[in-house]
Amino acid sequence: MAREVGISDSSVGRIWQSNGLKPHRIDSFKIGNDPRFAAKLEDIVGLYLNPPEHAPVLSLDEKSRIQALDRTQPSLPLKAGRGSHDVRL
């Protein structure tokens, strides 16, 4: 890319880093087989792009109780006075 646009490799790296780009990482996205997937996707994206006035838009994991990936480190115990139910917005 640097050669193509005529700048140094380090300049490309700085530009990528400042924009949160990580082209060396490979991510995947799985699309379900739901026939209404596109319509549902448009509804959700629409909420983010045009939220109702004075209403927060939250994103929650719909598959609670399922750990998608095994933890690499053991969980730490809760600190005194900070229960798992304490949520501050």
Whether residue 73 is contained in a domain is answered as: no
Q: Would you say the pTM of this structure is higher than 0.85? A: no
For residue 11, the enclosing domain spans: 2-49
Whether residue 54 is contained in a domain is answered as: no
Q: What is the DSSP string of 11-71?
A: HHHHHHHHTT--TTS---------TTHHHHHHHHHHHHHSPPTT-------SSTT--SS--
Whether residue 88 is contained in a domain is answered as: no
Whether residue 40 is contained in a domain is answered as: yes
Q: pLDDT at position 8, please? A: 94
pLDDT, tens digit, 9 for 90 and up, residues 4-61:
899 999 999 999 999 988 887 777 666 778 899 889 889 888 888 888 898 887 777 6
Whether residue 29 is contained in a domain is answered as: yes
pLDDT band at 89 (very low <50, low <70, confident <90, very high): very low
Number of structural domains in the chain: 1
Residue type, 39: A
